[in-house]
Chain A
Amino acid sequence: MTVKAQDERLKPIAFWQRLLLRPELGSVAGLVVVFAFFAVVAGSSGFLSWAGTRNYLEVAAQLGILASAVALLMIAGEFDLSVGSMVGAAAVGIALLAHPSYGDLPLGLALLVTMSFALLIGYVNGYLVLRTGLPSFIVTLAMMFILAGANIGFTKLITKLTIVSGLNEKIAQDPVARLFTGELLGLPAAVWWWLGVTAVLSFVLLSTPFGNWIFGAGGDANAARNVGVPVWRVKITLFMLTAAAATLLAAIQVMGLGSANVLQGQGKELEAIAAAVIGGCLLTGGYGSVIGAGIGALILAMVQQGIVYTNIDLDWFKVMVGGMILGAVTLNNYLRKLSLQVRR
């Protein structure tokens, strides 16, 4: 890190200037503000208690598992709107395959089969996007409807209902379930999954050649291809990853509740995108952070759970979410411009 000062314009880089280069900076600021707000407004009514903390951590974990994979895909320049429907399809898939009256497979095997199906859907998403050259927004929008519709259709055909319940006994007996429902150090398994997935994906993004390809594929797919980045492989892998993340979330939810609902996960695709964007991801790709997406999920969860401890009606939650998104994106935009200026 030593450079001979041959140029009088070269000043040492200040710590704060270095910080500006971090895409998640805006979300950290947002987190502090949101936490402070609820600590002041609702601190005495339970927001700061262990139960309150646990509450929003669990909500954040469920969203964060999706958001971390969605963030990688967004950095690679693509969307996946089908990820919410995938949660519902995977949940029903696991439930039906494991249900004593239907598949009666061991939970682990049911999960494995469902995961294979999800990976296939992810592959199809990626293949269609790349093959047709259509925006992933359109392709995965279509997949969102197809998955949601087929899920309701098949489930009603098989069970006559839109809910698959009655798995509690099976879950209680199966040791595999404890991986998704257990607790460690007072925190539910979902939170540990979230932290693990976020850590691994962030590591992949920042510290492996594949991570560099993700930035490259999203920054300028043509330029990246010209220098030898396998853009197809990168994008298809990431579409498969978001489908896998949806299945992981489905497993956590099914084994926690003992039942699956065809409507499960709907709308989560937009919340995950919101978390990723709050965390500094650019809609146009090439820029963003997995950690940021995790912080984004934490902010959204804090707002959603925090509002319960205030006098504000829960109906206002979405207004706050919208405000958060606008505020965070404006701030991120400003910070990014600043980071390109201070170095000149």
Chain B
Amino acid sequence: MTPLVELRKVSKYFGPVVALKDIDMKVYAGEVHCLLGDNGAGKSTLIKTLSGVYPPSEGQILLEGEPVVFNSPRDALDRGIATVYQDLAMLPLMSIARNFFLGREPKRRWGPFTLYDAAFAARVAREELRKIGINIRDPDQPVGTLSGGERQSVAIARAVYFGAKVLILDEPTSALGVKESAVVLRYIVQAKLRGLGVIFITHNVHHAWAVGDTFTVLNRGRSYGTFKKAETTREQLLQMMAGGEELEALSVELELIAKKDPIAAAQVEQRLAEDLHGPN
């Protein structure tokens, strides 16, 4: 099976800075491909390269087996690669329906004039949101009345509705609470079941583990490789993301604290263990 998107030895340099080096990655239709890495690992550069913001310095991007060059984000969008950024590109005071169709307004003719088809926009926005489990009373209500998770879902629904084949989600759950994250994660699974290839960027291993099929771990611009869910564990992924080194330094630091204040150190250690492995 040909991957929807394939990266072959993609590198990206900013002057003397090596942001990405020799990244290989394949994303198939109907899978959630998690892109993991700590801050500064190169996740953002990688998705910006994929979504047409930057051209790669070296290497190739293949779309359904064919080499492609994207000149702009719009170019990538037209080829079916939709990116939902953290800041969402939603206008809080604008209605849900108008946000949904911004830039691609449904049109109807009225004599010699081309009009915005508000009724169509309202109907489709309501329908698409119902499909993802958000019941809105009124598609004319401002987006500002939706919660963060719902807004994220609207942005995803919009990308899907406009025919995305590959959906890139940049940290969609990082600013959300537990319940809100669950809403977004559920919709990621729905998008995958519809046959989209989803690239899910996160540094939260629990969220990645919950929905991911495949995991690529980046560290300092290089890839540790791609792993199927069956081939790895949450702990291994976490270890790779942190790069081992930092965790060692951290335990040394904890020992130092322990000598001064054993109770505080124990609390820190326990909290850390929960953060890393989840409450058991």
Contact with B along A213-239 (1 / 0, CB 8 A): 101100110111011110000000000
In the complex, B229 has a CB within 8 A of chain A: no
- Interchain nearest-CB distance for B100 vs A (Å): 10
Quick one: which of B94, B102, B116 contacts A207, CB cutoff 8 A? B116
- Interchain nearest-CB distance for B124 vs A (Å): 14
Task: Known A212-B116, A340-B144; judge A219-B137 contact (CB<8 A).
Answer: no
Inter-chain contact A286/B105, CB cutoff 8 Å: no
Residue on B nearest A341 in the bound complex, by CB: B145
Instruction: Provide the bound-state CA to CA distance between A121 and B115, in Å.
Output: 29
Inter-chain contact B91/A216, CB cutoff 8 Å: yes
Instruction: Provide the bound-state CA to CA distance between A222 and B104, in Å.
Output: 16
Inter-chain contact B91/A220, CB cutoff 8 Å: yes
Inter-chain contact B89/A219, CB cutoff 8 Å: no
In the complex, B62 has a CB within 8 A of chain A: no
Residues of A within 8 A of B177 (CB): none
Inter-chain contact A10/B137, CB cutoff 8 Å: yes
Inter-chain contact B145/A224, CB cutoff 8 Å: no
Inter-chain contact B103/A229, CB cutoff 8 Å: yes
A-B pairs with beta carbons under 8 A, tally: 89
In the complex, B141 has a CB within 8 A of chain A: yes
Residues of B within 8 A of A211 (CB): 116
- Interchain nearest-CB distance for B129 vs A (Å): 10
Report B78-127 residues with CB < 8 Å from chain A CB: 87-94, 98, 101-105, 107, 113-116, 118, 126
Report A1-42 residues with CB < 8 Å from chain B CB: 3, 6-7, 10-13, 18, 21
Instruction: Provide the bound-state CA to CA distance between A43 and B115, in Å.
Output: 44
Inter-chain contact B73/A226, CB cutoff 8 Å: yes
Task: Known A219-B93, A223-B90, A340-B145; judge A208-B137 contact (CB<8 A).
Answer: no
Residues of B within 8 A of A10 (CB): 135, 137
Instruction: Provide the bound-state CA to CA distance between A209 and B252, in Å.
Output: 61
In the complex, B38 has a CB within 8 A of chain A: no
Inter-chain contact B142/A339, CB cutoff 8 Å: yes
- Interchain nearest-CB distance for B203 vs A (Å): 24
In the complex, B271 has a CB within 8 A of chain A: no
- Interchain nearest-CB distance for A138 vs B (Å): 25
Instruction: Provide the bound-state CA to CA distance between A207 and B121, in Å.
Output: 12
Quick one: which of B73, B102, B140 contacts A21, CB cutoff 8 A? B140
Quick one: which of A212, A286, A343 contacts B93, CB cutoff 8 A? A286
Count residues of chain B with CB under 8 A from any CB of chain A.
33
> How many A residues touch the partner, as a band?
35 or more
Residue on B nearest A215 in the bound complex, by CB: B94
In the complex, A180 has a CB within 8 A of chain B: no
Contact with A along B142-153 (1 / 0, CB 8 A): 101100000000
Residue on A nearest B91 in the bound complex, by CB: A219
In the complex, B138 has a CB within 8 A of chain A: yes
Quick one: which of B91, B113, B140 contacts A208, CB cutoff 8 A? B113
Inter-chain contact B142/A340, CB cutoff 8 Å: yes
Task: Known A7-B135, A207-B118, A340-B145; judge A227-B102 contact (CB<8 A).
Answer: yes
In the complex, A309 has a CB within 8 A of chain B: no
Inter-chain contact A219/B94, CB cutoff 8 Å: yes
Residues of A within 8 A of B105 (CB): 209, 212
Inter-chain contact B135/A6, CB cutoff 8 Å: yes
Residues of B within 8 A of A209 (CB): 105, 107, 114-116
Residues of B within 8 A of A131 (CB): none
- Interchain nearest-CB distance for A342 vs B (Å): 8
In the complex, A287 has a CB within 8 A of chain B: yes
Contact with B along A106-119 (1 / 0, CB 8 A): 00000000000000
Inter-chain contact A220/B89, CB cutoff 8 Å: yes
Which residue among B90, B94, B118, B130 has the maximum number of chain A CB atoms within 10 Å of its CB?
B94
Inter-chain contact B74/A228, CB cutoff 8 Å: yes
Instruction: Provide the bound-state CA to CA distance between A209 and B137, in Å.
Output: 24
Inter-chain contact A228/B141, CB cutoff 8 Å: no
Instruction: Provide the bound-state CA to CA distance between A21 and B98, in Å.
Output: 14
Quick one: which of A12, A206, A208, A227 contacts B103, CB cutoff 8 A? A227
Task: Known A207-B116, A215-B91; judge A13-B137 contact (CB<8 A).
Answer: yes
Inter-chain contact B145/A343, CB cutoff 8 Å: yes
Residue on B nearest A228 in the bound complex, by CB: B103
Residue on A nearest B105 in the bound complex, by CB: A209
Quick one: which of B87, B94, B135, B140 contacts A216, CB cutoff 8 A? B94
Instruction: Provide the bound-state CA to CA distance between A224 and B73, in Å.
Output: 13
Residues of A within 8 A of B77 (CB): 228
Instruction: Provide the bound-state CA to CA distance between A223 and B88, in Å.
Output: 8
Instruction: Provide the bound-state CA to CA distance between A3 and B113, in Å.
Output: 32
Task: Known A3-B126, A209-B116, A227-B89; judge A12-B137 contact (CB<8 A).
Answer: yes
Task: Known A224-B102, A340-B144; judge A286-B94 contact (CB<8 A).
Answer: yes
Instruction: Provide the bound-state CA to CA distance between A208 and B130, in Å.
Output: 26
Which residue among A10, A12, A13, A207 has the maximum number of chain B CB atoms within 10 Å of its CB?
A207
Quick one: which of A6, A7, A215 contacts B98, CB cutoff 8 A? A215
Instruction: Provide the bound-state CA to CA distance between A263 and B144, in Å.
Output: 44
Residues of A within 8 A of B87 (CB): 223
Inter-chain contact A287/B93, CB cutoff 8 Å: yes
Quick one: which of B73, B102, B116 contacts A229, CB cutoff 8 A? B102
25 A-B pairs with C-beta separation under 8 A: A3-B137, A10-B135, A11-B137, A13-B137, A18-B138, A206-B116, A207-B116, A208-B114, A208-B115, A209-B105, A209-B116, A212-B102, A213-B102, A220-B91, A222-B89, A223-B89, A224-B102, A227-B89, A227-B102, A227-B104, A228-B74, A228-B103, A229-B102, A229-B103, A343-B137
Name 5 extra pairs, CB < 8 A, besides A213-B102, A224-B103, A226-B73.
A3-B137, A208-B113, A216-B103, A228-B74, A343-B141
